[in-house]
């Protein structure tokens, strides 16, 4: 998601949003925990956080790379509901992100009404999300970002439970976890989760300690890169 942070008065901030046509959320803050969490050193500031809680870009919102935003938004788990009250059951499943059951219901209805554009579009949206998730997981595996790959494969199993894709994702996750090349990255990812939790709880000193440990013990990992980024933003605390 894209998050803007500003300490400007509400009135000025609203005028700026309207003038610039800003569509992403803006968090108004007086400083403190939000500043510390993201390492904010000036205003206005913006951050792009991917679906797995990783800060992948920071800076002035005016310089937000739109191509990167579009790429990340495509990987969120949002799927629009069907704009028709006749499909409340499917919409409920979509809102609950139970896409496996939603697909099963859609397939049943499409057998009887194959030309229904609303149903076809809904199925396409869900299938598209699944395809993007699997592509990102496979790309993460290829790039050695094994912690991210495991997280995405786990998501597919949760969101698309009951589908063949979920079964395939489980097999791929197990393959990654058994791969000797993934050992350090996965170990670093477990420690990273503890640091991330400390950061979210506002314990930045504990987070920094965990991240420094990752950099020291697993210097060649993707997690170490993320840890270094946090330490740079926060001046190593």
Whole-angstrom distance, CA of residue 149 vs CA of residue 158: 14
**pLDDT above 60 (res 1):** no
Contact, 123 vs 110, CB < 8 A?
A: yes
> What pLDDT digit, counting tens, does each position of 66-96 carry?
776 776 666 677 889 999 999 999 999 999 9
Contact, 156 vs 169, CB < 8 A?
A: yes
**pLDDT above 60 (res 142):** yes
Close Cβ partners of 47 (under 8 Å, ≥ 6 residues apart):
2, 3, 5, 38, 55, 57, 58
Contact, 38 vs 233, CB < 8 A?
A: yes
Contact, 87 vs 118, CB < 8 A?
A: yes
pLDDT averaged over every residue in the chain:
85
DSSP per position, 160-184: TTTSHHHHHHHHHHHHHHH-GGGHH
**pLDDT above 90 (res 137):** yes
- Residue in the structure block whose two tokens are 């403190």: 32
Using a 10 angstrom Cβ sphere, with 0-12 exposed, 13-18 middle and 19 or more buried, the burial of residue 58 is middle
> What pLDDT digit, counting tens, does each position of 7-28 carry?
677 888 788 788 878 777 777 7
Whole-angstrom distance, CA of residue 237 vs CA of residue 232: 9
pLDDT of residue 52: 67
What value does the mean pLDDT take over residues 42-61?
Answer: 68
pLDDT of residue 41: 67
Whole-angstrom distance, CA of residue 226 vs CA of residue 49: 12
Minimal CA–CA distance to 91: which of 115, 66, 109, 69? 109
SS3 157: helix
> What pLDDT digit, counting tens, does each position of 207-223 carry?
899 999 999 999 999 99
Q: How far apart are the first and last CA of the chain?
A: 26
Q: Cα angle at 30 between 207 and 204, to 5 degrees?
A: 5
SS3 77: coil
- Residue in the structure block whose two tokens are 């050193």: 41
Whole-angstrom distance, CA of residue 234 vs CA of residue 237: 6
**pLDDT above 80 (res 55):** no
- Quote the tokens at residue 236: 């190593």
Handedness of CA 44, 25, 147, 134 (dihedral sign): negative
> What pLDDT digit, counting tens, does each position of 151-200 carry?
999 999 999 999 999 999 999 999 999 999 999 999 999 999 998 888 87
Cα radius of gyration rounded to whole Å, the chain: 21
**Which of 30-34, 36-40, 53-57, 162-166 bottoms out in mean pLDDT, i.e. has the lowest?**
30-34
pLDDT of residue 97: 93
Q: Please, which pLDDT band fits residue 43 given cuts at 50, 70 and 90?
A: low
């Amino acid at each position: 998601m894209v998050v803007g942070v500003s300490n400007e008065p509400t009135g000025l901030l609203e005028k700026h949003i309207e003038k610039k046509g800003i569509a992403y959320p803006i968090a108004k803050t007086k400083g403190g925990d939000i500043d510390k969490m993201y390492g904010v050193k000036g205003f206005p500031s913006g951050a792009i956080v991917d679906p797995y809680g990783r800060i992948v870009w920071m800076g002035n919102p005016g310089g937000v790379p739109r191509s990167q935003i579009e790429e990340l938004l495509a990987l969120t788990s949002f799927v629009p509901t069907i704009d028709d009250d006749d499909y409340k059951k499917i919409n409920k499943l979509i809102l609950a992100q139970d896409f496996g059951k939603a697909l099963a219901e859609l397939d049943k209805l499409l057998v009887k009404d194959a030309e229904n554009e609303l149903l076809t579009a809904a199925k396409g949206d869900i299938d598209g999300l699944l395809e993007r998730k699997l592509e990102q997981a496979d790309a993460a595996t290829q790039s050695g970002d094994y912690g991210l790959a495991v997280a995405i494969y786990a998501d597919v199993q949760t969101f698309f439970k009951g589908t063949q894709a979920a079964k395939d994702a489980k097999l791929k996750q197990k393959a990654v976890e058994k791969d000797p090349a993934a050992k350090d990255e996965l170990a670093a990812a477990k420690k990273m989760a503890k640091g991330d939790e400390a950061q979210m709880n506002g314990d930045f000193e504990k987070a920094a300690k965990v991240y420094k440990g990752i950099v020291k013990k697993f210097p060649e990992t993707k997690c170490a890169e993320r840890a270094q980024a946090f330490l740079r933003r926060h001046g190593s605390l």
